Structures are given as structure tokens and as C-alpha cells.
Amino acid sequence: MIPFLEYLAMMSQTGQAIDVRTILASMKDKNIPEEYARREAKLRTAFQSDLAEQKRKAKGSAGGMFMKSLGLDASQKPGMVLGDQNISQGMSEGKMMIDMYRDFNKQNYEHLDKQIRENGDQWLKEMAEEEKKMQEAQLKDMKAGAFGWLGGQQGAVPSAGAAPDAAASHASGTPPNEKSREV
């Protein structure tokens, strides 16, 4: 089942939306891992025969031999890269795209695993410190909000009893604080 899931993951990276339901419907009433393995084997056979045909044509080509003699081998040209693998070079070596994708993900997994082993304790410590700071900030904000309501600090919501004063100050255009100073 893992190769099938890797295939789905690879296809989702193409930038083109895939509908998994369509793929699963094409495998209806079949064992998905076995059916996928059969389809991949069929595709691999076709890929290998196409590759062999291309190599056979390239060997007989005067232009291909001339380009190789100048060090301009088409399979070695810079192009699309997946990780540290040149895709056209990988294909000329007989690797299908799914093979290169698996290699790339394996390398990423090994790199991440190494990073976790080397830095995991430090990362956990930093995350715990950051979480503690966030909790302290949230608690401070909650306390400020609750005490603001209870203590009548600036920015607090006025009570219903202050409504007549607020209406009078609004009508006169004088803020309530200035009105009390005038008296």
C-alpha cells in the first residue's frame, strides 16, 4: 500500500489537482496494492523499452556522437532537479520519476531524522520556553482585561447606570471626564 500512497503524494506535488476517487474507482473490486504493483510494472516495462529505443537511436546518430565528443551529452545537461538528482540524467540511467521521488523523500527523511537526533532536545526545550512565554502573556492579558472591568480603568465598558451621564456629555459635546473637572 505504501508505494501507492507515495504515488498519490508524488502526483499531488505536480501542481495539478488529482481526484483520488477517480483513481480508486479505477481499482474497484481489486486489491489496491496488487493492482498498483501490476500497473507500475507495466509502466516500468514500457519506460525501459522506450529508454532502450532512445539509446539505440542516439548511438547511431552522428549528431549525438558529435555532441558527446564535445562533452555536451544530452543526458548530462542541466535541467530540472529533484533534490540532488538531475531528472533527465536519472531518466537516462533508467530511473522513473517515482523512483527519483522515493529517493528524494528517503534523503529528506534521513536528513530530518539526523536533525532531530542532533537538535531534538534543544528544539523541545525552546518550544517549552516559547509555550511558557505565550501562556504568561495570555494570563497577563486575561488579568488586565478582568481587572479593567472590575476596577473601572480607562477603556473599560461603562455600566448601565452611567448611561444618562454619557448621553448628556454626548449631547453637549463635552467628554464626561472634562465635565467633572468643570464642576
Enumerate the domain spans of the chain.
2-119
* Whether the predicted pLDDT of 125 surpasses 90: yes
* Whether the predicted pLDDT of 111 surpasses 50: yes
Q: Tell me, what's the pLDDT at 38?
A: 92
Cβ neighbours, 10 Å, residue 89: 18
Cell of 91: 531518466
pLDDT, one tens digit per residue, over 37-55 is 999 899 889 988 888 888 7
117: left (phi over 0), alpha (psi -120 to 50) or beta: alpha
Burial track 159-173 (b if 16+ CB lie within 10 A, e otherwise): eeeeeeeeeebeeee
Please report the DSSP string for 23-55 in residue order. Answer: HHHHTTTS-HHHHHHHHHHHHHHHHHHHHHHHH
Cell of 92: 537516462
Rounded CA-CA distance 49/115 in Å is: 41
- Give the residue, 149 or 15, on which the prediction is more confident: 15
pLDDT, one tens digit per residue, over 42-100 is 988 998 888 888 878 776 555 555 556 665 555 555 667 777 777 778 887 888 888 88
For residue 183, name the pLDDT band (cuts at 50, 70, 90).
Answer: very low
Task: Report pTM.
Answer: 0.49
